[in-house]
Amino acid sequence: MSGNRRLLSAAEADTLERACLGGGLPQEAERHLCLAGLNYHEDSVAEAHLRQARVLAPDHIGVYIGLYRYYFYKGQLSRALQIAEVCLEKSARDNGLAADWRRVRPGDAAFGSYEAVLPRFYLFTLKAYGYLQMRLGNLDEGHAALAKMLELDPSDKLGGTTLLRVLERMGLDDDD
């Protein structure tokens, strides 16, 4: 154990991930997500499987994560950002938060609890949103999103400070 934070065992982490991401996912949708991964190298086939998974489970976060990862790793950052925005909206609804992430406050959810899956997913989504904004050249928006993430997660469990440092160092020489 480190401080007050207890590390989860592999079994606990797997159970937590399944509860958050895979719980309630129809078996056929899960099959299509797996097939999309297996056919990653064939864009039209992979995307057809992702679309089918979305048809079968249109509001399931596991499908959105599959879409996000696919577009992100394919370098289709604008499409990944669109999915991150949908995830941010859904996560806000699921957590009972303001739709505009700028209006969310630290006390609005249990952001500091590792076991609080939905608030933690909100933070991960906000981090992805901020990172993608940075990568797409929207530096002010990316900075604002990452600063909000750190406001909600002041202990920086998710590593937002690292991304902010990268942003702050942009344009500086290595000697600066």
Q: Is residue 110 part of a domain?
A: yes
Q: Is residue 142 part of a domain?
A: yes
Residue 17 banded pLDDT, cuts 50, 70, 90: low
Number of domains observed in the structure of the chain:
1
- Residue-wise pLDDT for 28-46, tens only, equals 999 999 999 999 999 999 9
Q: Is residue 26 part of a domain?
A: no
Q: Is residue 156 part of a domain?
A: yes
CA atoms within 13 Å, Cβ hemisphere of 140: 0
What does the block give as tokens for 75?
A: 């370098």
Q: Which 3 state secondary structure label does DSSP give 56?
A: helix
- What DSSP string runs through 149-170? HHHH-TT-TT-HHHHHHHHHHT
Over residues 4-14, the mean pLDDT reads 43
Domain range enclosing 160: 95-169
Q: Is residue 115 part of a domain?
A: yes
Q: Is residue 79 part of a domain?
A: no
Higher-confidence residue of 152 and 9: namely: 152
Q: Is residue 37 part of a domain?
A: no
